[in-house]
Amino acid sequence: MVNLVDWVWGLYSEGNIIKAADRRLNGEFKDEDMKKLLLVGLSCANPDANERPNMRRVLQILNGEADPVLVPKSKPTLTFSNSLPVSLDEIVSDGEDGKLSAPSSPFEIRIN
């Protein structure tokens, strides 16, 4: 099964984003308007929520009141890395009640 967002991003990477337009429209649209709409869709699907436009910005872009957002040619990917301690002594501590305890491993998410 093909993921719709990945498919559209692939077409965009190839310079063919207009091919993502619904065929039932029979080409009855301005290419520039369709491209703008699809790019806004991709920007809203960015894996990094901080890079997504808010709805006010989306409406401004679609109404021609704001410049379009810059969309990377390839879909950003999430990279997960963890900062695990080197030794057991770094994570295990003696509690006041004589029990050993260890905190959860800290995980970091990076967007590439």
Q: What is the pLDDT of residue 95?
A: 61
Q: How many angstroms separate the CA atoms of 100 and 112, rounded?
A: 38
Q: Which residues does the chain have with pLDDT short of 50?
A: none
Burial of 67 (0-12, 13-18, 19+ CB in 10 A): exposed
Q: How many angstroms separate the CA atoms of 51 and 12, rounded?
A: 18
CA distances, 38 to each of 10, 29, 91, 92, 98 (Å): 12, 13, 47, 51, 60
CA distances, 95 to each of 8, 59, 87, 102 (Å): 53, 55, 18, 10
Instruction: Identify the CA nearest to 61 among candidates 25, 30, 32, 26.
Output: 32
